[in-house]
Amino acid sequence: MKLTVLGAGAWGSALAIAFSGRHQVTLWARQAEVRRALRDDRENPRFLPGQRFPDALLIADDFASALADADLLLIATPLAGLRPTVCGLRDVGLVRPLIWACKGLEAATARLPHQIVAEELGAQLPCGALSGPSFAEEVARGLPTAVTLAANDATFAQRTALALHSPRFRIYANDDLPGVEVGGAVKNVMAIATGVCDGLGLGLNARAALITRGLAEIARFGVALGGQPQTFMGLAGMGDLILTCTGELSRNRRVGLGLASGKTLPQILRELGHVAEGVGTTREVAGLARRLAIEMPITEAVEAILYHDEPVASAVDKLLRRDPRSEAS
């Protein structure tokens, strides 16, 4: 298969490395100087230092040439780059079947990625989301990983998952596109909350409770948006949630740790040097949940800390003082 990866951050570079073993892969970066550096250095020193590109991995000269011969496109930009990228595909007239690896809800619209793609390219295009418990650094190193590929067409999901699957990057097909996208988006909000919990030294019991109740919030929200309940017990739900909330490589968890230590959000993001999708996603999820009358107290607490200057200790105290209720609620 001829596969083009659009976006050369950590995740795009890692996926390009992972898929180069079995496919003809082209990697494209938006900035010309970045493309030249990737081609000359044969690695991505800013986002994935120390991970050499395979000799067979091609670096595209420009957007049109990156698309020209591709059988499948993989968009690995941050979520903010998804709409501009798919608009670019439409404008150059080189639309191909595509999958995306970005997670979140679009700022101001609260759209999930598949809704953005449908708005710009139509609902009939074979497309889907690659999601699940996966850190870019480990994927690039060839460490065992399992993820989900959910699509708007079950046959496309199965065929594409089989083509991209390998023993160390296992891909499971799924037909619940909204559920998989919600799991990938809202787990980042819960990872910020878990970082706060750990940073305050609240203990392992509190961490386990937070992750479990966070999963309940994700499932409530996801089902309301058309997801299937069983999806949230799988790789794109519970699996991704556990990894992002506990893994030391988690950017969103590091945001929470920074907040607990008293750092400001701008300071945390400067030090991080990468996009932490949970920061923007929190506001969109909280706002949409209120409009849909879905109770999401952990999400609301994170929103209050990030956007309403709520002191971390106060937000935690309000969560702990909530009235007891049935676990099913």
Q: Has 187 been annotated as catalytic?
A: yes
Q: Confidence band (pLDDT; 50, 70, 90) for 94?
A: confident
Beta-carbon contacts of 125 under 8 Å, excluding residues fewer than 6 positions away, are 95, 97, 98, 117
pLDDT tens digits along 287-322? 999 999 999 999 999 999 999 999 999 999 999 999
Distance CA 265, CA 306 (A): 7
pLDDT tens digits along 141-162? 999 999 999 999 999 999 999 9
Residue 329 has pLDDT above 80, yes or no: no
Residue 274 has pLDDT above 90, yes or no: no
CA angle at 115 for the pair 4 and 99, rounded to the nearest 5°: 20
Query: What stretches of 29-100 adopt beta strand conformation (E)?
Result: 58-59, 72-75, 98-100
Q: Which of 2, 103, 187, 318 is catalytic?
A: 187
Q: How far apart are the first and last CA of the chain?
A: 47
List of domains in the chain:
2-175 (3.40.50.720), 185-320 (1.10.1040.10)
Q: What is the bridge-based pairing of β-strands 58-59 and 127-131?
A: unpaired
Beta-carbon contacts of 160 under 8 Å, excluding residues fewer than 6 positions away, are 72, 97, 99, 128, 149, 151, 173
